Amino acid sequence: MNTHGPEGRDNVVLFPKTLDFYQMELTRMLETERYGEAGELLEFLLQCQGQEPRQYDEWKALLDWLRDAFPGVAGEGSEPDFYEENEESLARLHIEAKVALDKDYGNKLLKAAMDSPLSEHSLLALEQLSYLDMPEIDDALRSWLDRKNVHPLIQFHILQTLRRRGAQGTVSFFRGQELVEVEIETVPLKSADFPPQIQRILERVGDQTQIHNPTLFYFAQEFWYQFVMGVYGTRDYTSILAEDDGTADIWAAALHQTISESLPDGKSDSDIRLVYGITDALRLRFEQVYRSMKQFVHSGQGR
């Protein structure tokens, strides 16, 4: 998630609906064992102002517990790589214990991942397949990847699971009507693994929103990585990585406008184009990129 707030509470005020959203996100992260992300969100919340002292005490107590229970959770002196390795070891031990109690657990987990609708729990089941010593899972995942109408986010998480399992080589499958080819060894396992162009576009939006509208920036982070995963390997993804003049501005402006339209009191599209330097010469490309994002939202792919 990589949530980064301003340096002090004086700069950020949490309004009731925004606070409710963050609380739901925090609960969801804890339920799905995403403790590193929960730690980052708690640090962000502790930087904000406008809440009762009791609320800050609760957040601080929860963050302290996470740091004690899982060394490396976000905080001063944390070591993310150590935490991720520790988390992976715990996950593997958890799955091995389940298999020891139920020899058919692997097949049940595969069925739960493949037959359930897209949700945090189905994605967690898919991730847990990474730790099962069952060679037949690789074939099942490759076949699943090539099914019709598989959700693009599911496809991306299938690719991640294949990489975690040590699979190699190129896989071909359809994303909508587009045939894509992906090298399994290059699939990003976390947001930091994406090429720098991905983060650069998000930073451009952060430059315009992080202090004056942190809520928009938070939603932009969440949506951006969902979108990037949803178009991974496609022509849109290749376009994002282009180094030509204007590409980062175009994608950042389209991202800002897409999120702004979903929030009250958002800026007009002309104001957004102006701050990102979208000239008449870039307008057509901007409209094409913006249309791709809106299609992603309207198709129900952006969660």
Domain membership of residue 92 (yes or no) is: no
* Residues 237 and 253 placed together within one structural domain of the fold: yes
Q: Exposure of 182 by Cβ count < 10 A (0-12 exposed, 13-18 middle, 19+ buried)?
A: buried
pLDDT of residue 14: 62
pLDDT of residue 3: 37
* Residues 224 and 181 placed together within one structural domain of the fold: no
The 10 Å Cβ neighbour count of residue 170 is: 10
Residue 10 has pLDDT above 80, yes or no: no
pLDDT of residue 239: 94
* Residues 195 and 168 placed together within one structural domain of the fold: no
pLDDT of residue 16: 66
* Residues 201 and 273 placed together within one structural domain of the fold: yes
Q: Which residue has the higher pLDDT, 276 or 117?
A: 276
Residue 287 has pLDDT above 70, yes or no: yes
Query: Mean per-residue pLDDT for 109-120?
Result: 86
Residue 237 has pLDDT above 50, yes or no: yes
Query: Mean per-residue pLDDT for 255-260?
Result: 94
* Residues 199 and 170 placed together within one structural domain of the fold: no
Residue 127 has pLDDT above 80, yes or no: yes
Length in residues, the chain = 303
What residues contact residue 139 under an 8 Å CB cut-off, 6+ apart? none
- As a whole number, the mean pLDDT across the chain is 83
At 130, which CATH number?
A: 3.30.1790
Domain membership of residue 209 (yes or no) is: yes
Q: What percent of the chain has pLDDT over 70?
A: 85
* Residues 166 and 229 placed together within one structural domain of the fold: no
What residues contact residue 91 under an 8 Å CB cut-off, 6+ apart? 33, 127, 128, 131
* Residues 61 and 107 placed together within one structural domain of the fold: no
Domain that holds residue 54: 16-68
Q: How many domains, the chain? A: 3
- Closest of 142, 127, 122, 155 to residue 230, by C-alpha: 155
* Residues 56 and 114 placed together within one structural domain of the fold: no
| pLDDT interval class at 78 (50, 70, 90) | very low
At 283, which CATH number?
A: 1.10.472
Q: Phi and psi at residue 46, in whole multiples of 5°?
A: -70, -15
Q: Phi and psi at residue 234, in whole multiples of 5°?
A: -90, 180
Which contiguous run of DSSP H or E holds residue 180? strand 178-183
Domain membership of residue 107 (yes or no) is: yes
Least confident of 155-164, 169-178, 205-214: 205-214
210 close to 4: Cβ distance less than 8 angstroms: yes
